Every structure is written in structure tokens, then in C-alpha cells.
Amino acid sequence: MTQTTPNRLLWRDVTVFDGLATRPEPMAVIVEDGRIARLLPMQDLDAALTDGCRDMGRGGVMTPGLVDCHTHIVFGGGRAEEFEARLEGVSYEEIARRGGGILSTVKATRQASEDTLFRAALPRLEAMIADGATTVEIKSGYGLTVNDELKMLRVARRLGEALPVRVVTTLLGAHALPPEYQGRSDAYIDLVCDEMIPAAAAEGLADAVDVFCEKIAFSVAQCERVFQAAEAHGLPIKAHAEQLSNLGGTAMAARHGALSADHIEYLDPAGIEAMREAGSVAVILPGAFHTLRETQQPPIAGLREAGVPMAVATDANPGSSPLFMPSLMLNLACTLFRLTPSEALAGMTAHGAAALGRRELGRLEEGAPADLCVWNIDSPAELAYAVQPGRLRQRLFQGVPSHGA
Ligand SMILES: N=CN[C@@H](CCC(=O)O)C(=O)O
Ligand SMILES: [Zn+2]
């Protein structure tokens, strides 16, 4: 008899959501050497395949590990006071204009050491891991000096080294105008283009470059300059765009081949068409919509009709989305924006990975990395239907069980 090799793992009779759709029949899955070695209907499983496998159990739902493609989980301080002000009727934009909002987090983040930021972010990322995330994007954007932005990116990289999760980093130097550049926004964009991007690229700290294209942040022309600098350093781009108004930032980003445009509540048909042509992913952020009590819905029907892939992410941050639970976003995407549960789940697996330019992730198929979750539920739709921690039975990161082994 062949001896059981612990690195050949077998699940039987699982319902598989493969990143895009639910497989119609009960499946068997074998993981070996960090990859999905076999994914086949139960009826095709024979003794030759199961020989030497460690039995990982039967039944439940298997999905790719969740991919949270838009977060800001490295930050100093908190913004509960701003939350209270907003409940009293002060708008997010008004708070930003008064120098609060993002800039209050900038102040606290600048004051914090790398270690302090690391220790504060650790439980946030651990919560996401416990909820099934295996890939989490983390943006800078609360430092707004070369050193403070690099400090944030270093913390993000350290988090990925410390925990069993893949961290993808994004430089968001063009997030807000820092107070010392008041009235000199073009000069700040010079700093982002001429110093921040080259420094982050030289140290290998950024996997992509992002901007906030909005009246309270940067113009389309300024964001385009940031993209040109990113391109010059071989870095892919993405944009926070059309969140509070329609400036045309998404169409411009798409013309530059953006991986994604994120928020996009105010996106118009021309913007949708530009995304379709460019193959950009629309990142839907229901947590910010919910927290800011927005009323303008992203154009889900138009995106669906155009075939623009939709990702779903937490946007976890101290201001507009202090929500650190990826699975909650599946529910909110369905209840607030009427995504189907399958669309929401694809948005946090295959399409989330595409928004990061990592199309090999977020999929369950033979040969793919074995980042996966097994859930104690009967159908994938239950993940979006109920907001219920504790359903994660097993989680594998790169083939290694890190939960429920
Ligand atoms: N929209 C801009 N940036 C963040 C908000 C960050 C904050 O409010 O601190 C977002 O994605 O929602
Ligand atoms: Zn964001």
C-alpha cells in the first residue's frame, strides 16, 4: 500500500464555485505541491487517484480564497468622530474641505512609526484571513510624503511576510493634497511623478499605482500625469473615479489601459464603453456606498450588458468604509446593488484577481495555485445570503492549510 503523503490532499463530494460559476455536479479535488492537481466530477474519481491522499473531508462548498482587491488597512488613528459628524448631517466632502477626513488619517499616519502601523494593521488583516481572504491588496495614500508613502508600503510588504496571505501593494500618492501643498496641487503631482513613483519602483515596493480623481482630490489632467509616470516605470495603473461626481477619470484611465476603475457610482455610458474597450475591471465598493449613505448607484445593468467584469472589495479604511469583513461585501453587493450571489462571489474571486492583474488567482482549475476555502454551507449563494462568521471549515494558502487543518 502506498504511504499517505501529507502534501496530497483530497476532498470528496464538494460543491465547487470555480471563480466564475458553480460546477453542476459534486466534485472531487486533489491538491498537490501548492497547486490544484485534479478537479473532477465525483463519478470520475477512481482508486488510482485517491491512493496516497490525505482525506480532507466530504461535502460543503469549495471556493477560491477570497481576493479583496481594494483596501487601505495600513493607517494610524481612527475616525469615529467623523462618523458621528456625518450622522449629524455633515457630508464626507464637507469634512474633507475642512481638513478632516483623509487628511486627519494622514496626520496620524505620519506620526506613527513603521512598527506601530504594522501592529495596528495586523488584526485587521487577520480578520480578513479568518473570513476567507487569501489575497489582499493594500494601498498607501495616508503618508503623502516620499518617506511616509514608502513607510506605508513597507508595512504592507511586512504584513504579507508575517501572515499566510498574499499582499499586493498599490502606491496611492495622489490620494489627497497634503496641507503643506495647499494651493500648489500641480507641484504635489510633480512630487508624486518625479520622486514618489521612481522611489517606490526602485525599491520594488509598489505593484501598481492608483489615483483619486475627484473634485476634492485631483483633476483628470493631474491623474493622467501620474499614469504617465507609472507607465515610464513599468507599473500598472488603477483609479478611484466617479465616486462623488462624473469627471471622466474612468475613461481617461481606461485609455491608459487601467487594470480597474473603482467606486464608479457616477460612471456614464461613455465610461462603460471605454472600460469595455480597454478590458478594465469595474471594482464595486458597497461598503463605502453604505457608510457614506450614498444614493447614486453604480451602473450595474450597463456594466453587465457591456460585459465589463465586476469585482467586489471591502475598501476597508478608517473613513468611508471601516468594514474589515470581505464576506459582508458579498451580502451588501447583492442587497444594495442587486448583483446576483454568483456575480458577487466572482467579484471577490476571479474578477478581483483580474483587477490586480493576477488572472492566475481567484480560480479553481487544474494547475491553478491552491488558494482555497471550504465552507460549512450547502450552496455558494449562502455566502452572500447570510452574514455569519464561523462558516469557514478550511482555508489553504498556496496549498498549505492555515485554518481547520
Ligand atoms: N475615495 C477615496 N479614498 C478612500 C477613502 C479613504 C478615507 O476616507 O480615508 C476610499 O476608497 O473610499
Ligand atoms: Zn479606496
| 1 in any annotated domain | no
Looking from the CA of residue 318, the nearest atom of ligand 1 is 9
Phi, psi of 238 (to 5 degrees): -155, 170
Query: Which H or E run contains 168?
Result: strand 166-174
Same domain flag for 345 and 374: no
Query: How far is Cα 80 from Cα 397, in angstroms, rounded to an integer?
Result: 34
The answer on 18 and 160 residing in a single domain is no
Alpha helices in 131-248 (DSSP H): 146-162, 185-191, 197-202, 220-232
DSSP H or E stretch at residue 280:
none
Atom number, ligand 1, closest to the C-alpha of residue 240: 1
25/37 Cα distance (integer angstroms): 19
Last residue of a domain, one of 355, 372, 392: 355
Residues 223 and 129 in one domain: yes
Asked if residues 316 and 68 have their Cβ atoms less than 8 Å apart, the reply is yes
pLDDT in tens, 105-121: 999 999 999 999 999 99
**Least distant ligand from the CA of 215:** 1
Could you report the per-residue pLDDT of 298-343, keeping only the tens digit for each? 999 999 999 999 999 999 999 999 999 999 999 999 999 999 999 9
**Domain extent at residue 258:** 66-355
For residue 6, name the pLDDT band (cuts at 50, 70, 90).
low
pLDDT the model gives residue 4: 46
Residue nearest to atom 4 of ligand 1 (CA): 320
Quote the mean pLDDT of the chain. Answer: 96
- Residue 386 CA to residue 256 CA, distance in Å, equals 39
Could you give the angle at the alpha carbon of 281 between the alpha carbons of 211 and 275, nearest 5°? 85
- d(CA 320, ligand 1 centre) in Å: 6
- β pairing state of 310-312 and 66-68: unpaired
Instruction: Report how far Cα 31 is from the mean position of its chain's Cα atoms.
Output: 25
pLDDT band of 1, cuts 50, 70, 90 = very low
Q: Show the cell assigned to 332.
A: 451588501
Grid cell digits, residue 390: 464561523
User: 292 alpha carbon to ligand 2 midpoint, in Å?
Assistant: 13
* Residue at 372 is within a domain: yes
Residue from 68, 72, 142, 218 whose mutation best tests the ligand 1 pocket (most atoms within 8 A of CB): 72
**What are residue 68's DSSP bridge partners?**
136
Q: 155 with 121: CB under 8 angstroms?
A: yes
Quick check: 170 and 152 in contact, CB under 8 A? no
Q: Is 315 annotated as a binding residue?
A: yes
Nearest alpha carbon to residue 376 among 391, 397, 357, 365? 391
Judgement on whether residues 274 and 165 belong to the same structural domain of the protein: yes
CATH assignment at residue 15: 2.30.40.10
Least confident stretch, 46-55, 209-218, 353-362: 46-55
- Are residues 116 and 210 both part of a single domain? yes
Question: Based on the domain organization, do 136 and 108 belong to the same domain?
Answer: yes
Collect all residues with Cβ–Cβ distance below 8 Å to 177 and sequence separation of at least 6.
Answer: 185, 188, 217, 218
Residue 301: its pLDDT value, please? 98
Report the number of distinct structural domains present in the chain: 2
80 and 39 housed in the same domain: no
Statement: residue 2 has pLDDT above 70: no
Whole-number Å distance between alpha carbons of 165 and 159:
8
Say which CATH number the domain at 120 has.
3.20.20.140
**Ligand 1 centroid – CA 207 distance (Å):** 19
Arithmetic mean of pLDDT, 48-68? 96
Pocket of ligand 1 (CB under 6 A): 72, 101-102, 105, 212, 240, 243, 288, 315, 317-321
Structure pTM? Answer: 0.97
* Global ipTM: 0.96
**Reported confidence tier of residue 212, pLDDT bands at 50, 70, 90:** very high
Residue 244 within any structural domain of the chain: yes
Q: Tell me, in angstroms, the distance from the centre of ligand 2 to residue 386's CA.
A: 25
Is residue 317 annotated as involved in ligand binding?
Answer: yes
Angle separating helix axes 146-162 and 102-111, nearest 10 degrees: 80
Position in ligand 1 atom list of the atom nearest CA 263: 11
Number of the ligand closest to the Cα of 142: 1
Q: Are residues 179 and 247 in the same domain?
A: yes
Within a domain: 2: no
Host H or E run for residue 289: helix 286-291
Distance between CA atoms of 208 and 314, rounded to whole angstroms? 18
Determine which helix (DSSP H) or strand (DSSP E) holds 94, and give its type and residue range.
Answer: helix 92-97
- Both 42 and 86 in one domain: the answer is no
User: Is pLDDT larger for residue 169 or for residue 1?
Assistant: 169
Residues 56 and 78 in one domain: no
Has 70 been labeled as part of a binding site?
Answer: yes
Rounded to whole angstroms, the Cα distance separating 192 from 188 reads 6
**Does some domain include residue 309?**
yes
Instruction: Identify the band that residue 383 occupies on the pLDDT scale cut at 50, 70 and 90.
Output: very high
Q: Are 274 and 251 within 8 A, CB to CB?
A: yes
Residue 395 CA to ligand 2 centre (angstroms): 27
Same domain, 22 and 143: no
Of the listed ligands, the closest to the CA of 92 is 1
pLDDT of residue 97: 87
pLDDT, one tens digit per residue, over 149-162 is 999 999 999 999 99
| pLDDT given for residue 242 in this prediction | 97
pLDDT category at 98 given cuts 50, 70, 90 is confident
Task: Say if residue 275 is in the same domain as residue 368.
Answer: no
Asked whether residue 3 is assigned to any structural domain, the reply reads: no
With bands split at pLDDT 50, 70 and 90, how would you rate the model's confidence at 7?
Answer: confident
Q: Is residue 95 part of a domain?
A: yes
Chosen domain end from 355, 377, 394 = 355
Q: Ligand 2 center to residue 257 CA distance, Å?
A: 19
Q: pLDDT tens across 114-147, in order?
A: 999 999 999 999 999 999 999 999 999 999 999 9
